[in-house]
Amino acid sequence: MQKLSLVLLSLAALLAGCEDKPKIRTYNTEKPADVHAGNHVDGETAADAPAMPPMMQNRPAAGTSAPAGEPVRMFAAIVPQGEQTWFYKVTGPVELVGKKATELGDFVKSVKYADGQPEWTLPEGWSREAGNTFRFATLKVPVEGADEPLEMSVSALPGGAPETEQAVANINRWRGQVGLGDIDAKAIEAASDDLSQETSRVKSGESTIYFVNLVGKQQAGGMMPPFAR
């Protein structure tokens, strides 16, 4: 019996020795420098990157309506409405915007507001496009003799700051976009209701609408949206 047990133990040891040994696996780990090279285009290899289309290379900064340095006219309005302030703005060729200034002003003055939203009837030929992050809407304004319509942006921000202070801040921001210097609150408070002037004020119901009719040169850097103070 003892001999049989020794034989069985020897057989078990022999079978265990025949099992496959664990395989050694190897992995290749990329060095940090290799990872960086695979995900970056450095100055020395920028020529290998896809070229920007010529149309994009020559395109004005986002939000502008003309190349930097080109003469432009901006017709815009600030309309305080309780806890919100509404902004209307058109920028384009001097003569074309000038032709539509009276119609643009009449439209802004005609807009009614209910439940925080503007309600309007668009003049004949005008059309509305959906807004985006910064705009409530974009209004297309046809001009006789022009290939493309003008664009009026419509946007709103919370009121917050005193009315005149907010008007001064945004009017000066607009003036800077066409290369004009700042004005102060006294200039706005002294403004007449003549929309042909650089700055004007018009009573509309219980509200005051602040208009600008600016001629200057488009500045580089794009058109920033209005801001609250």
Task: Quote the CA–CA distance of 191 and 77 in Å, as a whole number.
Answer: 14
Per the domain annotation, does 156 fall within a domain? Answer: yes
- DSSP character for 111? -
CA angle 170, 90, 185 (to 5 degrees): 25
Domains held by the chain: number: 1
Per the domain annotation, does 190 fall within a domain? Answer: yes
pLDDT digits (tens, 9 = 90+) for 54-64: 322 333 333 34
Give the pLDDT confidence score for residue 144 in this predicted structure. Answer: 92
Per the domain annotation, does 131 fall within a domain? Answer: yes
Give the pLDDT confidence score for residue 65 in this predicted structure. Answer: 54
Per the domain annotation, does 45 fall within a domain? Answer: no
Per the domain annotation, does 168 fall within a domain? Answer: yes
pLDDT digits (tens, 9 = 90+) for 67-120: 888 999 999 999 999 889 999 999 999 999 999 999 999 999 999 999 889 999
Give the pLDDT confidence score for residue 115 in this predicted structure. Answer: 87
Specify the range with the lowest mean pLDDT, choosing from 2-6, 152-156, 212-216.
2-6
Q: What is the pTM of this model?
A: 0.69
Per the domain annotation, does 158 fall within a domain? Answer: yes
pLDDT at 3 over 80: no
Range of the domain at 210: 71-217
Whole-Å CA distances, 120 to 34, 111, 200:
60, 5, 22
pLDDT at 2 over 60: no
Residue-averaged pLDDT of the chain = 77
Per the domain annotation, does 180 fall within a domain? Answer: yes
